[in-house]
Amino acid sequence: DVKVTQSSRYLVKRTGEKVFLECVQDMDHENMFWYRQDPGLGLRLIYFSYDVKMKEKGDIPEGYSVSREKKERFSLILESASTNQTSMYLCASSLSLLSGTEAFFGQGTRLTVV
Amino acid sequence: GENVEQHPSTLSVQEGDSAVIKCTYSDSASNYFPWYKQELGKGPQLIIDIRSNVGEKKDQRIAVTLNKTAKHFSLHITETQPEDSAVYFCAASTGSGGSYIPTFGRGTSLIVHP
């Protein structure tokens, strides 16, 4: 079974802190994604990566950055956390083929910024 | 970019009834349409998917239909059970720089009353 593991289920951080959310997948997938989930807004794409060291902005990249130094690991960085970044963060991975493929999700990290 | 609309946002049914969730998409180049189920405290998981060269697909009590001309697709659940209660997301995958990126609808909270 594909496994996508997010390093924390719950995090509480202070405003202005630099926050790292880590995600690891074990199926050699090329694509990795970070989504943010808010009630009534669904899943919104923050950043995605299709290869090591490659990254592309999604729909809501402001206030975030990412790092992919190894194929299996994709990190989301909040440079200076703010209260409006309180949310559920979901990491996902998928194979890269000539058409869309299933995305496998981690269990999510619920981040609270106080 | 792709835009996916999903309706209804909440759906309440009696056990044994059928449930239908509808989505529309905007990008005619989208070619893969998955449906995900998210249970409380978990990440979304794929339950069924359909590709653009297929009009209908069925798996036991769930089925998906796709109308490419009208750019809409639907999830049908028959003989609903309490364990079907969850949030359901539709998605449409569109090519971006050689990768396929899923864009999600806002989700439908399905409640099945025993």
pLDDT tens-digit map of B46-96? 999 998 888 999 999 999 999 999 999 999 999 999 999 999 999 998 876
Q: State which H helix or E strand residue A64 sits in.
A: strand A64-70
Average pLDDT, chain A: 94
Q: Is the pLDDT of residue A72 over 90?
A: yes
Q: What is the least distance, in Å, from the CA of A75 to any CA of chain B?
A: 17
B26 falls in which pLDDT band (50, 70, 90)? very high
Which residue of B lies nearest to A97 if distances are taken between CA atoms? B99
pLDDT at A2: 64
Q: What is the least distance, in Å, from the CA of B2 to any CA of chain A?
A: 10
Phi and psi based region of residue B28 (left: phi greater than 0; alpha: psi -120 to 50; beta: remaining): alpha
Q: Is the pLDDT of residue B97 over 80?
A: no
Phi and psi angles of residue A90, each rounded to the nearest 5 degrees, phi first:
-120, 130
pLDDT at A97: 72
Measured between CB atoms, does A103 come within 8 Å of chain B?
Answer: yes
Mean pLDDT of A103-111: 96
Of the partner residues A43, A50, A100, the one whose CB lies closest to the CB of residue B93:
A100
Average pLDDT, chain B: 94
Measured between CB atoms, does A99 come within 8 Å of chain B?
Answer: yes
Phi and psi angles of residue A49, each rounded to the nearest 5 degrees, phi first:
-135, 135
Percent over 70 (pLDDT), chain A: 97
Q: Do B99 and A59 touch (CB under 8 A)?
A: no
Q: Is the pLDDT of residue B98 over 70?
A: no
Q: Is the pLDDT of residue A47 over 70?
A: yes
Which residue of A lies nearest to B44 if distances are taken between CA atoms? A105
**What is the rounded CA–CA span in Å between residue A39 and residue A114?**
19
- The SS3 of residue A67 is strand
